[in-house]
Chain A
Amino acid sequence: MTTLAQRRGFLGNLRKYRYLYLMLLPALALLFIFNYVPMYGVIIAFQDYKFMKGILASRWIGLDNFIVLFHKDSFLNALRNTFMISGLRMLFGFPAPILFALLLNEVRMGRFKKTVQTISYMPYFVSWVVISGMMIEVFSLQRGIVNTAIQAFGGKPIYFMNDPGWFIVILIGSGIWQGLGWGSIIYLGAIAGINPELYESAGIDGATRLQKARFITLPGMYPMIVISFLLSLGGILNAGFDQIFNMYSPGVFNVSDIIDTYIYRAAFTGSGVSYGASDLSLATAVGLFKNVIGFGLLFGANAVAGRLTDYTFW
């Protein structure tokens, strides 16, 4: 059986729906230029690309860039840091908005709840340039409030932003701080969708607030929790470029250099990657590696999501 559209043929369809296709044209053309053309440009990962020569005249070197990469300590270190920072974010940052939503749900004063929510969104609406700038001030050695307080209690000031251990604490902590309020919205949405009769009948049965939270609210959030967990698992290679790039300094590269910051420095400064020379091909190879592995992770996570819940990402 053929459909009407098939019988009309390609050109026939184009003519019949020409205005609709014309409307689609700007979006399709923009995507072609700014998304598909760079995908073609990825081939420089397999070249010894020279900016002056261009893509067509640069020498092909096959997988050499990738082989070089996996022999570089600096790259392996960035890879390790990416997993470590993402892992810490999941361990501490993932439960935080869930807990926040549960606590907010217990607040009965509407005004208080609304105010807390609105204020909690504040850090989400400013850029990481702004937040990092504020963090640098708050934790600064001489003027920051934290070190002022430490000294007031007779302690020694701590160089928070330049001490590798403390830097990671601040990185993870400010990440949670920034995303907590906004991240709780989907959970509050899930809570709002819970049938109120469940609470009523539980109340008649004499359930305590803790029991209601444990056996009604939390299970009601379960699909959302699974989805967000798998989504962050799929994005594990994104360890937070904007935040780290605005916070780190050479003193803490060792613990905070991630794949994305590595790509930037490989391409534009070369510092900490090679000996002062930038390498566009190498940087592109890192980007390609990240994209392929990242896609695999996301795809796998989506398959798991489909098995565990009724939802998938797409």
Chain B
Amino acid sequence: MRLRRISLFDIFNYFLLTVFVITIIYPFWDMLIRSLSTPIDAMKLGFYILPRLKDLTFDSYAIVFTGGQIGWGYYNTTFRAVVGTVLMIIVTMAAAYPLSKKHLPYRRGITIYMVITMFFAGGMIPSYILINWMGLIDSRWALVLPTLAAVFNILLVRNYIMAVVDRSLEESAEIDGASDFTILVRIVTPLCKPAIATIGLWSIVGHWNAWFDAMLYINSQTKEVLQLMLRKIMIENAQGPMDRYRDMALSMTRKQYAPDSLKAAFLYLTILPILLVYPFLQKYFIKGIMLGAIKG
């Protein structure tokens, strides 16, 4: 390979991109160091470039784990992510398969019925009134049921089936006497694995990061999701949870306690699962945008 001359532009370019990367990493790094600092270090001013290694402590994590209700937060967030995603995939596959059949009567009308919901919505208050009327206020299902029929996903999978699944495969199965359900489960679904991975991962991340619906519909502390717990301590500065952490901290360490460390530890416990997996799964996420760009 021919060696290239490194121009002034290259130096500038690498420099600029490196600075950008640092601005992204720094806030995350700052939070990480804060969460691992002793109370004395955490209250000091200054840049947290490198921590003093011998002073690192997991106390803040221990306090957050034992002192608050983060266990409920994990349970509720995992519940909506897992149940919501599994059911969404079932509803999506079941709807996408019939719509992939060009000969299905009223296919166009059904598609229009679906697409309309992408452009018009009743909005926050009519939805709230509906959830209330259904008796779903303060129920975990209020965070799951409205998300199950995802029109964008249905259209995406429908297009995928039309592009990937060989008609003759279905036809020969039909001749062998296979029912539509059997064809969907045994033949179409296995061929759609990449598309399912894409919509499934999007759904999990979406549920993991969702907070507004829970803020509207959930009242009980034991049904609160992680994001909302984090919002309470970091953004609303709610006294209740912080007081609990303080009491726990003082009883555990019998020393000072730094609210900043506890907030940072909570933040990390919220984002860690996502930060650990997204670099390895990014190709599936990216595939989602590319598939979405293909029109149906």
Q: By CB atoms of chain B within 10 A, which of A38, A115, A138 has the most?
A: A38
Known pairs A145-B30, A177-B23; A267 contacts B289 (CB<8 A):
no
Interface residue A68 (Cβ < 8 Å from any Cβ of B) = no
User: Who on chain B is nearest to A283 by CB?
Assistant: B125
Known pairs A24-B94, A127-B209, A263-B123; A145 contacts B99 (CB<8 A):
no
Known pairs A133-B234, A145-B30, A186-B293; A127 contacts B211 (CB<8 A):
yes
Interface residue A86 (Cβ < 8 Å from any Cβ of B) = no
Interface residues of B in 2-60 (CB under 8 A from A): 4, 7, 9-10, 13-14, 16-17, 20-21, 23-28, 30-31, 34, 45-48
Interface residue A308 (Cβ < 8 Å from any Cβ of B) = no
Known pairs A107-B14, A127-B227, A133-B267; A120 contacts B98 (CB<8 A):
no
B260 touches A143 (CB 8 A): yes
B122 neighbours in A (Cβ, 8 Å): 35, 37-42, 287
Known pairs A23-B180, A129-B235, A314-B115; A287 contacts B91 (CB<8 A):
no
Q: With A and B bound together, what is the CA distance between A180 and B10 in angstroms?
A: 21
Interface residue B151 (Cβ < 8 Å from any Cβ of A) = yes
**Cβ-defined partner of B282 (8 Å) among A8, A42, A121, A314:** A121
Q: With A and B bound together, what is the CA distance between A115 and B212 in angstroms?
A: 32
Interface residues of A in 240-272 (CB under 8 A from B): 241-242, 245-246, 263-264, 267
Q: With A and B bound together, what is the CA distance between A117 and B208 in angstroms?
A: 23
**Cβ-defined partner of A134 (8 Å) among B27, B179, B205, B209:** B27
User: Who on chain A is nearest to B127 by CB?
Assistant: A38
User: Who on chain A is nearest to B233 by CB?
Assistant: A133
Interface residue B279 (Cβ < 8 Å from any Cβ of A) = yes
Q: With A and B bound together, what is the CA distance between A233 and B91 in angstroms?
A: 33
A242 touches B130 (CB 8 A): no
A287 touches B123 (CB 8 A): yes
Q: Give 1 or 0 for each of B269-294: 1 = CB within 8 Å of chain A CB.
A: 01100110011001001100110010
Known pairs A39-B126, A145-B26; A34 contacts B145 (CB<8 A):
yes
User: Who on chain A is nearest to B26 by CB?
Assistant: A145
**Cβ-defined partner of A189 (8 Å) among B125, B267, B290:** B290
B123 touches A284 (CB 8 A): yes
A30 neighbours in B (Cβ, 8 Å): 91, 145-146, 148-149
B267 touches A130 (CB 8 A): yes
User: Who on chain B is nearest to A37 by CB?
Assistant: B130
B28 touches A122 (CB 8 A): yes
A38 touches B27 (CB 8 A): no
CB distance from A239 to the nearest CB of B (A): 15
A312 neighbours in B (Cβ, 8 Å): 295
Interface residue B196 (Cβ < 8 Å from any Cβ of A) = no
Interface residues of B in 83-121 (CB under 8 A from A): 90-92, 94-95, 97-99, 101, 103-106, 110, 113-115, 117, 119-121
B101 neighbours in A (Cβ, 8 Å): 20
B119 touches A133 (CB 8 A): no
Known pairs A27-B154, A125-B274, A134-B267; A39 contacts B121 (CB<8 A):
yes
Interface residue B124 (Cβ < 8 Å from any Cβ of A) = yes
B274 neighbours in A (Cβ, 8 Å): 125-126
A130 neighbours in B (Cβ, 8 Å): 209, 227, 230, 267, 270-271
Count contacts on B: residues with CB < 8 A to the other chain: 92
User: Who on chain A is nearest to B279 by CB?
Assistant: A118
Known pairs A30-B148, A34-B145, A103-B17; A122 contacts B154 (CB<8 A):
no
Interface residue A136 (Cβ < 8 Å from any Cβ of B) = yes
B98 touches A23 (CB 8 A): yes
Interface residue B238 (Cβ < 8 Å from any Cβ of A) = no
Known pairs A38-B130, A41-B129; A20 contacts B104 (CB<8 A):
yes
A51 neighbours in B (Cβ, 8 Å): 129
Q: Give 1 or 0 for each of A123-167: 1 = CB within 8 Å of chain B CB.
A: 101110110111111100011010011000000000000000000
CB distance from B277 to the nearest CB of A (A): 9
CB distance from A55 to the nearest CB of B (A): 7
A135 touches B114 (CB 8 A): no
Q: With A and B bound together, what is the CA distance between A135 and B271 in angstroms?
A: 15
Known pairs A19-B179, A134-B27, A142-B45; A126 contacts B271 (CB<8 A):
yes
Q: With A and B bound together, what is the CA distance between A242 and B146 in angstroms?
A: 19
Q: With A and B bound together, what is the CA distance between A291 and B119 in angstroms?
A: 8
B7 neighbours in A (Cβ, 8 Å): 209
CB distance from A278 to the nearest CB of B (A): 10
Known pairs A24-B94, A129-B227, A145-B30; A136 contacts B234 (CB<8 A):
yes
B105 touches A13 (CB 8 A): yes
CB distance from B215 to the nearest CB of A (A): 9
Q: By CB atoms of chain B within 10 A, which of A27, A121, A241 has the most?
A: A27
A35 touches B117 (CB 8 A): yes
B267 touches A138 (CB 8 A): no
Interface residue B244 (Cβ < 8 Å from any Cβ of A) = no
Interface residues of B in 220-261 (CB under 8 A from A): 227-228, 230-231, 234-235, 260
User: Apart from A5-B105, A125-B205, what are 4 other A-B pairs with CB-CB below 8 Å?
Assistant: A27-B91, A107-B13, A129-B234, A242-B212
Q: Can you list 29 A-B pairs, Cβ within 8 angstroms, ordered by A?
A: A20-B98, A20-B104, A23-B180, A28-B113, A31-B113, A33-B130, A34-B130, A34-B145, A35-B122, A35-B149, A39-B126, A41-B125, A41-B130, A104-B17, A116-B21, A120-B24, A121-B278, A122-B25, A123-B24, A125-B275, A126-B274, A130-B270, A132-B235, A134-B27, A143-B45, A263-B123, A267-B124, A267-B128, A314-B115
Which 7 residue pairs spanning A and B have beta carbons closest together? A38-B122, A41-B126, A287-B123, A133-B234, A127-B209, A27-B95, A30-B149
